A and B are shown apart, each in its own frame.
Chain A
Amino acid sequence: MSNTTAPASAATTTATTDPKIRIRGLSKHFSVPGGHVVTALDSFDLDVPQGQFLTIVGPSGCGKTTFLRMLAGLESPSEGSIEVVGGTDGRPENAMVFQGDSIFPWMSVWDNAAYGLTVRGVPKAQVKETVGHYLEATGLTKFADAFPHQLSGGMRQRVSIARAFANDPEILLMDEPFSALDEQNKTLLQAELLRIWDETRKTVVFITHSVDEAVTLSDRIMVMSAQPGRAKAFIDVPFERPRDVLQLRHQPEYGEIVYDIWSQLKEEVEKAKQQADARVAPKRHGLFRR
Chain B
Amino acid sequence: MTNVAEAARTPRAAARQVEQRRTLSRSTLRTISILSPLVVLVAWEAFSRAGVLDERFFPAPTLIFQALWVEASSGELWTQTQHSLTRLIVGFVIGAVPAVVIGVAMGLNRVVNAAVRPIISALYPVPKSAVLPLFLLFFGLGEDTIWYFVAMGVFFPVVINTYTGVANVSAIFYDVAENFGAKRLTVFRTVALPGAMPNVITGLELGAGMGLIMLAIAEMMGGQGNGWGFMVWNSFQLFTIESMYAYLLVFALVGLLLALIVGFVGRKLTPWISRH
Report A's interface with B, CB cutoff 8 A.
69, 72-74, 92, 94-96, 98, 100-102, 104-107, 115-116, 119-120, 147-150, 163, 167
Which residues of B sit under 8 angstroms from A95, Cβ to Cβ?
179-180
Tell whether, in the assembled complex, residue A119 and residue B186 are in contact, meaning their CB atoms are under 8 Å apart. yes
Per CB-CB distance, the 10 closest pairs between chain A and chain B, nearest first, are A106-B194, A116-B180, A147-B272, A106-B272, A96-B179, A119-B182, A149-B274, A102-B172, A119-B180, A102-B176
Instruction: For residue B196, give the distance in angstroms from its CB to the closest CB of chain A.
Output: 10
Between A and B, 13 residue pairs with Cβ closer than 8 Å are A74-B179, A92-B180, A96-B176, A98-B175, A102-B175, A104-B190, A104-B194, A115-B180, A119-B181, A119-B186, A119-B190, A147-B272, A150-B274
Tell whether, in the assembled complex, residue A147 and residue B271 are in contact, meaning their CB atoms are under 8 Å apart. yes
Complex: how many Å from CA A177 to CA B273? 25
Instruction: For residue B66, give the distance in angstroms from its CB to the closest CB of chain A.
Output: 50
Tell whether, in the assembled complex, residue B272 and residue A94 are in contact, meaning their CB atoms are under 8 Å apart. no
Which residues of A sit under 8 angstroms from B139, Cβ to Cβ?
none
- The answer, among B176, B179, B197, for a CB contact under 8 Å with A106, is B197
- The answer, among A73, A102, A150, for a CB contact under 8 Å with B173, is A102
For the complex, is B6 an interface residue (Cβ under 8 Å from A)? no
Instruction: For residue A107, give the distance in angstroms from its CB to the closest CB of chain B.
Output: 7
Instruction: For residue A84, give the distance in angstroms from its CB to the closest CB of chain B.
Output: 14
Instruction: For residue A194, give the distance in angstroms from its CB to the closest CB of chain B.
Output: 23
Mark out the residues of chain B between 85 and 102 whose CB falls within 8 Å of any chain A CB in the assembled complex: none
Contact with A along B224-257 (1 / 0, CB 8 A): 0000000000000000000000000000000000
**CB < 8 Å A-B pair total:** 60
Indicate the member of A72, A115, A163 with the most B CB atoms within 10 Å.
A115
Closest to B183 in A: A119
Which residues of A sit under 8 angstroms from B178, Cβ to Cβ?
73-74
Instruction: For residue A111, give the distance in angstroms from its CB to the closest CB of chain B.
Output: 9
15 additional contacts (CB under 8 A) given A69-B175, A74-B178, A104-B190: A72-B179, A73-B179, A74-B175, A74-B179, A96-B179, A102-B175, A106-B195, A106-B197, A107-B194, A107-B272, A115-B180, A115-B190, A119-B186, A120-B181, A148-B272
Mark out the residues of chain B between 124 and 183 whose CB falls within 8 Å of any chain A CB in the assembled complex: 172-173, 175-182
Which residues of A sit under 8 angstroms from B190, Cβ to Cβ?
104, 107, 115, 119
Q: Given known contacts A92-B181, A106-B194, A120-B181, is B176 in contact with A98 (CB within 8 Å)? A: yes
Instruction: For residue A171, give the distance in angstroms from its CB to the closest CB of chain B.
Output: 12
- The answer, among B179, B186, B194, for a CB contact under 8 Å with A94, is B179
- The answer, among A69, A102, A116, A147, for a CB contact under 8 Å with B181, is A116
For the complex, is B62 an interface residue (Cβ under 8 Å from A)? no
Indicate the member of B175, B186, B191 with the most A CB atoms within 10 Å.
B175
Which residues of A sit under 8 angstroms from B197, Cβ to Cβ?
106
Tell whether, in the assembled complex, residue A98 and residue B270 are in contact, meaning their CB atoms are under 8 Å apart. no
Tell whether, in the assembled complex, residue A106 and residue B180 are in contact, meaning their CB atoms are under 8 Å apart. no
Q: Given known contacts A100-B172, A119-B186, is B272 in contact with A105 (CB within 8 Å)? A: yes
Complex: how many Å from CA A234 to CA B172? 31
Which residues of A sit under 8 angstroms from B182, Cβ to Cβ?
119
Which residues of A sit under 8 angstroms from B195, Cβ to Cβ?
106
Which residues of A sit under 8 angstroms from B181, Cβ to Cβ?
92, 116, 119-120
Mark out the residues of chain B between 25 and 47 whose CB falls within 8 Å of any chain A CB in the assembled complex: none
Closest to B173 in A: A104
Which residues of A sit under 8 angstroms from B272, Cβ to Cβ?
105-107, 147-149
Complex: how many Å from CA A98 to CA B180? 12
